[in-house]
Amino acid sequence: MAYGLLAAAIAAEVAGTTAMKYSEGFSKLWPSLGTLAGYLLAFALLAQTLKTMQVGTAYAIWAGVGTAASPPSGSSSSASRPASPSSPGSPS
């Protein structure tokens, strides 16, 4: 049960983070509300998880899975591509 709640909390946090990207600095209403709802749900579910799971275990799973799951949702924009490295000796 605790692992299911933690998985749902992580999913809500990733959804909130994804919605934040689309809120454009919280200037768009629905993505901004999605961000708020995602984070509220994530922390409510995490609080329930911590009633039966140790904090260290929950946080390690939260951080690891959340970090692994976040880049796919945030890397879909072509605007966030890293610059290609310049060759040695060429002007930047």
Neighbours of 59 (CB within 10 A): 13
Phi and psi at 3, nearest 5°, equal -70, -35
* Per-residue confidence in pLDDT tens, the chain, 92 aa: 999 999 999 999 999 999 999 999 999 999 999 999 999 999 999 999 999 999 999 999 999 998 888 766 545 554 555 556 666 665 65
Residue 72: predicted pLDDT: 62
Confidence at residue 40, expressed as pLDDT on a 0 to 100 scale: 98
Model-level pTM greater than 0.85?
A: no
